[in-house]
Structure 1
Amino acid sequence: MSAEVTPFPIHAVRAAQVGFERDELQRILDLYGRLVAAGQCRDYAMDFGKDAAVFSAFRRAAERPMARIEKRPSLRGKQGMWALIGEAGQILKRGHELAGVLFPLERKLLKLVEN
């Protein structure tokens, strides 16, 4: 009795997907948590495509995102792969480093401390 073995396709054709690294996602979720604690956000969504990874923060679940953080590796050598996009779709900040792009949202959380 002879059995024929069909090899499993190792090199399956699959579209590459852009995602967040662990430390990038940790930084984004930390900021999101502080926005929730401040009452500015209530929901979030993540979208992973072949061109970009997007984190969207919402004031309420049924409206446009108040801010989107996009990672587009194809723009790494140009304007930078990170972008902060506002509610109306305007690009608020673009850069090569995530920390610099998140600064406008972090600035909203800063409060003056009275002596």
Structure 2
Amino acid sequence: MRGGALCKRSCDNVHRNSDCRKALPRPTGRQLSTAHGIRGNSVHPGSIETGSATSVRRDESDVARACNARTLAAIPLGARGEPRDVAHGVLFLASDESKYVTGAELVLDGGCTAV
């Protein structure tokens, strides 16, 4: 069988490093699509509202409040993403709706890397 999609998720602290972020999807997307018809893309989530982020937000200590304020101030859209935001991006890349997308880096970070 020929065709399909490969999605790679990078960790939060790595996606800000442009060289590291670009190391996988472009050459992999080219190689896999040429040889096997597989689309290779990567997903780079920023600060996502997960269990650990929620526990930090609920912590009433001054350190936790300062950390949360710094995190939110660094996000141009002003809020953490939700797990479904990442899921929708992965779903798009894995679907036929993105059949002409390969070697792409889908950054889901509320605009952090755009500034």
What TM-score range do you get, normalising by the shorter chain?
under 0.3
Q: TM-score, normalised by structure 1?
A: 0.26
TM-score computed with the length of structure 2 as normaliser: 0.26
Q: Name the structure, 1 or 2, with higher relative contact order (CA <8 Å, separation 6+).
A: 2
Larger radius of gyration: 1
